[in-house]
Structure 1
Amino acid sequence: MTKYDEYATKNRAGTGSSSGFDQPGQRCPGRATRPSGLPIQRHGGSDIDVSDFDVESETGSGLDESERADGHDITTSSATTWESVNDLDANSVTLNSFTGTSGPVFNPVEDTEAVQYFDKFFAPLTEDRNKEPKRCSPEHDQIYKFRPVFDHLNATWSQQYKLPCTISIDESIVGFKGRHNLVKYIRIKKHHQWGPKEYNLCDAKTGYCFRTLYHTSGMPTSVHGQPYKVCETLMSGLFERNHHLVVDNYYTSVPLCEEMLKKGVYVTGTVQANRKGLPQEMKHKLKQKGDIIACRKGGMLAINWMDRKQVRLLTTHASAKQVEVVRRRYGDTRTIPQVVQEYNAGMGGVNMSDQMTDAYAAEFRTVKCWKKVVFHLIDRTLTNAYICYKENSNKTGKPMTHHQFIIDVVESLIGDYKEPRSQVGRPSIGTPVSRKTDRHFLESIPDKKRKKCEVCASNRGDGNYKGTRITTWCKDCGVGLCRGDCFKKYHM
């Protein structure tokens, strides 16, 4: 423990400041600043909070521009400093009940022919390209080509399903390696790493994709950063229902937890150690597996926990109490914080939707990016339809598999339509032989009798066939035939 840590411990414990760094005007060597919330002794004897000063933390991330303008934090909260949590089991959280409903909503659809519907659906895609706004104009839209399809499906997905309490947000990649300004690269994605990047809001349990958003250059942002704006956009219309939103460390931040809590949304997620506003305890390196540090600020809880690797989480929904879980791979039990259990249970919604969509995706080669995106949206719509089918409480019997469901949808769209086949060659003059038009089958000759193969005998030409006689024949034709090529040649 350094002298600076001893100083912090004594001040928190109320034992006074007797170290060598409590004199006015002295600063701890090797440190740029003191952590926020620690009292500093003034000459007059009164304590002041270091947060009143405009200083930068040791990570180099100080107050942003909006905070410097008026001299105080832009987010208001009942607690302005982080407090250490000693009794983890007693640190329970009082939550408001979820006020929404969940499950599919089967709204009536207009009865139109599939061909007419798809003509209306794809009409904007075939418009004259000269109508598209120029790239340098203010009206330019990077997803202009498939914007009508995107807006229509986004509205339909949200109308046909009611999200439950726990939901998740994560990014996905539409596989495309061509040249387009929408193409991004994500290394950790396993199925596709190159292609247009989309942000999806999904049901954490079923994987239903409720809303999607594509990453474009110049997309709107906020004072809290672009990840915050993505979450705010995807959650529009879902506030004040006490949803539990689970995100990863790309989105999780102190402003996200605070602002979403004000809007009636609980947040749980892993967090990066260098995020603004985190307590200094989140930057401590733990060495022994199972070690945990918890800090609270109002309704927000920060957890620093050591598993196989160090894990840092922020939550406004769970507590730090220890719970026992069963590991399915090994069959034993282990103790983990409750916030880790809730994160593991709620973070897989987008990955589940991606797995179901990519299992039967319309993979084809094209140089047009919008074609990849449009057919990907149709694939995700089929996945959502299958989830609604499985969640339908009125269904009876064993549900269809995902593969059989897609086949039934395709066959219902095709209907009785059959593509006409053009016959090659000159038309036949005479009446076709019945053995070439009727359905015949190869059977065993009764009474264990044998016959010569009609095709093998005709190939000899002189009629003196002395080959092996066979035990199979065509009952309708009354001739012996070998299995395989002879039967096929005779009936062609």
Structure 2
Amino acid sequence: SPITYFMQFFPESLIRTIVEQTNLYSTQKIGVSINTNYSEICMFIAIQIKMSILHLPSYLMYWSKEMRFPPIADSISLKRYQKLRRFLHFVDNSTFNSDNSQTNFLKYNQSWMQSEQSHSVDEQIIPAKTKYSKFRQYNPKKPVKWGFKNMVRADSSGFIYGGKDSKQLALSDDATHLQKSAQTVVKLCQHLPVKQNHQLFFDNWFTTLDLLIYLKEIGINACGTIRGNEDLKKNGRGAVDFRSDFNSGILVTKWYDNNAVHIGSNFVGIEPMSTIDRWSSEIKEKVPIQCPQIITMYNKGMGGVDLADMLISLYRTEVKTRRWYIKIFWHCIDIAKVNAWLLYRRHCNEMSISKKSQRTLLNFVVDISDNLLYRNSCSTPTRGRPSNKRKLENDTLPGKKPFTPTPNEILRFDQISHWPEPRSQRGRCRLCKSGYSQIYCSKCHVCLCLKSSNNCFKEFHCK
């Protein structure tokens, strides 16, 4: 189920830590604990995920009379939501070292990386315009201008590995001679299996010849672009030049497309040459040009981080706050959602499940939200502002057939507080469809037969 995948990356122990630290932080701030619990924090996270799917200009509008959104407004009152939003916290401020910039909210299971061969290292921008942080940066050439720069490693499907601040990762003594940007690559690849033909790609901000040599020595195939000031414009598109070092096994290639591209590698060369189509402004049609193998491999392997950014941006959790670490926390929630979906897709493909039968990212995120919302709850959520209760099967308008939606599978099979309760009027059984019963489930709100000869109530709640 989606919630099972999500909890692989955002475990129960982490939620319980948030519960503890949120209560402690409220006590430190106002002298009284807000007394939140595990189920309420799950509900709070679920509400924020729902808000990432259905965007409104202000969070107050989800509870407003004109734009009220029942799945959120019926789950929690506005005042309680604001209190949780205000005191959400993750560490004890009295013992936390302010010089420690670690934001390790996610701890990934390292076994997932065995199946993907191509990995890329790149920067990821966490959107944030908060002025109360020394970490915020301005990137005029990036789609996201303001935010926190986060160095990550991702495979070709967009699955992100890591979660630890690179400053907190230990660096082996034989890599201390590398530049800081190159050391970041080494730290992010500490858990990447060596000498198993894994390929690592990065751009010119990270690439140095010393880094390519070091990665080759430890058994990681690497390829990265290099900053250069020479071109092959006079030779035209498709022109190639290269230099190789026999001792280190490093090859540096220069290829001219629209501009000169410099790229180095410790495992791939220019052969076999292939052809790619490029538009010619002179003859007004596409023409084939030569492309070396090293360029083909780089274009195929680089881009996993950009793919992850695209998937995250589809349903990004946006929260306006002055506390910079809250932005990073919700970004980690978004990474967990995308990683869970990619892992689910990978398992579905391995089981030969057709893509039509697989959940889309939207449906997957909705299921995560619904399951968190009702997680460990004894009944459907309590209402916030006064509203009309959901009508039961027989409480319908004249001329309308009674209808109650079938509950979510996780809610239906969780075996928590499904109590049989009597009703004044009979309703059609949800399971056998041919019987009528005055017994309904207090949590699922559906009528079910409960007889010695026909126990639909038990069968309905068992897989």
Pick the TM interval, shorter chain: 0.5 to 0.7
Q: Aligned to 2:96, which of 132, 135, 139?
A: 132
Aligned residues: 304
Whether contact under 8 Å (2:6, 2:368) holds in the other structure is: no
2:15 match:
118
Query: 1:172-214 CA distances to partner (integer Å, 9 max, x unpaired)?
Result: 1111111211112333321x2222111111112x110012454
Q: Secondary structure at the match of 1:363?
A: coil
CA distance in 1 between counterparts of 2:368 and 2:398 reads 34
Q: Aligned to 1:141, which of 90, 100, 113?
A: 100
1:200 match:
152
Q: Aligned to 2:368, which of 409, 423, 426?
A: 409
CA distance in 1 between counterparts of 2:5 and 2:218 reads 29
1:64-143 to 2 correspondences below 5 Å: 118-121=15-18, 123-124=20-21, 125-133=89-97, 135=98, 140-143=99-102
1:211 match:
162
Whether contact under 8 Å (1:322, 1:336) holds in the other structure is: no
Query: 1:229-256 CA distances to partner (integer Å, 9 max, x unpaired)?
Result: 1011011132333311111001111001
Structure 1 residues 242 and 374: CA distance shift in structure 2, 3 A: same
Structure 1 residues 337 and 212: CA distance shift in structure 2, 3 A: farther
1:187 match:
140
Determine if the alignment matches structure 1 residue 439 to structure 2 residue 397.
yes
Q: Which amino acid aligns with 1:171?
A: E
Q: Which amino acid aligns with 2:353?
A: T
Q: Aligned to 1:291, which of 233, 239, 258?
A: 239
Query: Which is worse superposed, 262-271 or 232-241?
Result: 232-241
Q: Which amino acid aligns with 2:124?
A: S
1:314 match:
264
Query: 1:370-429 CA distances to partner (integer Å, 9 max, x unpaired)?
Result: 1110010010011000001111123634211110110011111112532324438xxxxx
1:19 match:
none
CA distance in 2 between counterparts of 1:182 and 1:120 reads 25
Query: 1:439-485 CA distances to partner (integer Å, 9 max, x unpaired)?
Result: 2469xxxxxxxxxxxxxxxxxxxxxxxxxxxxxxxxxxxxxxxxxxx
CA distance in 1 between counterparts of 2:101 and 2:7 reads 31
TM-score, length of structure 1 as denominator length: 0.55
CA distance in 2 between counterparts of 1:217 and 1:127 reads 17
> Offset at 1:164?
1.9
1:423 match:
386
> Offset at 1:285?
5.2
Whether contact under 8 Å (2:316, 2:334) holds in the other structure is: yes
2:342 match:
387
Q: Which amino acid aligns with 1:120?
A: T
1:202-281 to 2 correspondences below 5 Å: 202-204=154-156, 206-214=157-165, 222-238=176-192, 239-273=194-228
Q: Aligned to 1:304, which of 230, 234, 254?
A: 254
> Offset at 1:119?
3.1
CA distance in 2 between counterparts of 1:262 and 1:240 reads 10
1:158 match:
110
> Offset at 1:117?
6.3
> Offset at 1:218?
13
Whether contact under 8 Å (1:198, 1:212) holds in the other structure is: no
CA distance in 2 between counterparts of 1:261 and 1:127 reads 40
Structure 1 residues 168 and 395: CA distance shift in structure 2, 3 A: same
Structure 1 residues 253 and 126: CA distance shift in structure 2, 3 A: closer
Q: Percent identity?
A: 20
Q: Which has the higher contact order (CA 8 A, sep 6+)?
A: 2
Structure 1 residues 362 and 157: CA distance shift in structure 2, 3 A: farther
* Higher Rg of the two aligned structures: 1
1:332-411 to 2 correspondences below 5 Å: 333-392=288-347, 393-394=350-351, 396-397=353-354, 398-411=357-370
Whether contact under 8 Å (2:170, 2:187) holds in the other structure is: no
Whether contact under 8 Å (1:176, 1:372) holds in the other structure is: yes
Q: Secondary structure at the match of 1:131?
A: coil
Structure 1 residues 391 and 226: CA distance shift in structure 2, 3 A: same
> Offset at 1:291?
1.9
> Offset at 1:336?
0.7
Query: 1:29-76 CA distances to partner (integer Å, 9 max, x unpaired)?
Result: xxxxxxxxxxxxxxxxxxxxxxxxxxxxxxxxxxxxxxxxxxxxxxxx
CA distance in 1 between counterparts of 2:11 and 2:167 reads 35
> Offset at 1:305?
1.4
CA distance in 2 between counterparts of 1:332 and 1:203 reads 32
CA distance in 1 between counterparts of 2:147 and 2:271 reads 41
Whether contact under 8 Å (2:203, 2:224) holds in the other structure is: yes
CA distance in 1 between counterparts of 2:11 and 2:96 reads 29
1:481 match:
none
Structure 1 residues 421 and 438: CA distance shift in structure 2, 3 A: farther
CA distance in 1 between counterparts of 2:287 and 2:228 reads 31
Q: Which amino acid aligns with 1:131?
A: T
CA distance in 2 between counterparts of 1:225 and 1:354 reads 27
CA distance in 2 between counterparts of 1:225 and 1:245 reads 18
Structure 1 residues 403 and 322: CA distance shift in structure 2, 3 A: same
Whether contact under 8 Å (1:293, 1:305) holds in the other structure is: yes
Q: Which amino acid aligns with 1:168?
A: S
Q: Which amino acid aligns with 1:118?
A: I
Query: Which is worse superposed, 208-217 or 158-167?
Result: 208-217
Query: 1:247-272 CA distances to partner (integer Å, 9 max, x unpaired)?
Result: 10011110011010000011111101
2:447 match:
none
Q: Which amino acid aligns with 2:15?
A: F
Whether contact under 8 Å (1:198, 1:215) holds in the other structure is: no
Structure 1 residues 171 and 394: CA distance shift in structure 2, 3 A: same
CA distance in 1 between counterparts of 2:120 and 2:369 reads 30
Whether contact under 8 Å (1:142, 1:182) holds in the other structure is: no
TM-score, length of structure 2 as denominator length: 0.58
Q: 5+ unaligned residues in a row in structure 2: which ranges?
A: 22-88, 280-284, 388-394, 401-463
